[in-house]
Amino acid sequence: MTTSNTGTGAVDPAVREELARLRDSIDNIDAAVVHMLAERFKCTQQVGLLKARHALPPADPAREARQIDRLRTLAESAKLDPAFAEKFLNFIIAEVIHHHERIAEDNGAGPRPAAG
């Protein structure tokens, strides 16, 4: 229980100000994340085209393993939950792989036939 909320619906103006200041920073960080993700997807779009043109598979599990390893280490030193960092990267990479598959289809490669 805090002493700032009187329970009457009135919130201490200092608390309001602190919340607004923190939310401004959150909004700036969210904007930076969106811009950085947009740049990342511009790069992966180029990778998708390169892979499609040279008949390379959309996914590269060995590369992903190295990225996850690296990101987990970075997360630990930044005091961010490494499991969260891994989930976040996997989420983004899954989307990239969908894009790669679509680019390959649009470039006439189509899905690879099953082995055997």
Ligand X SMILES: O=C(O)C(=O)C[C@]1(C(=O)O)C=C[C@@H](O)C=C1
* 68 binds ligand X, rule: CB under 6 A: no
Q: Spell out, one character per residue from 80 to 109, where the chain touches ligand X: x when CB under 6 A holds, - when not.
A: -------------x--xx--x---------
- Judged by beta carbon, residue 59 or residue 109, the one nearer ligand X is 59
Query: What is the distance between the alpha carbons of residues 47 and 38, in angstroms, rounded to a whole number?
Result: 14
Minimum CB separation of residue 55 from ligand X in Å reads: 14
Give whole-number Cα distances, 112 to 49, 99, 109, in Å. 16, 15, 8
Output the six-digit token pair for 105: 């289809």
Using CB under 6 A, pick the residue from 59, 71, 80, 109 that binds ligand X. 59
Taking the least distance from each CB to ligand X, the nearer of 42 and 79 is 42
Q: Which of 21, 53, 63, 87 binds ligand X (CB under 6 A)?
A: 63
Name 55's Cβ contacts closer than 8 Å, sequence gap at least 6. 109
**Cα separation of 21 and 23, whole Å?**
5
CA angle 77, 23, 87 (to 5 degrees): 40
Residues that bind ligand X (CB under 6 A): 44, 47, 59-60, 63-64, 67, 93, 96-97, 100
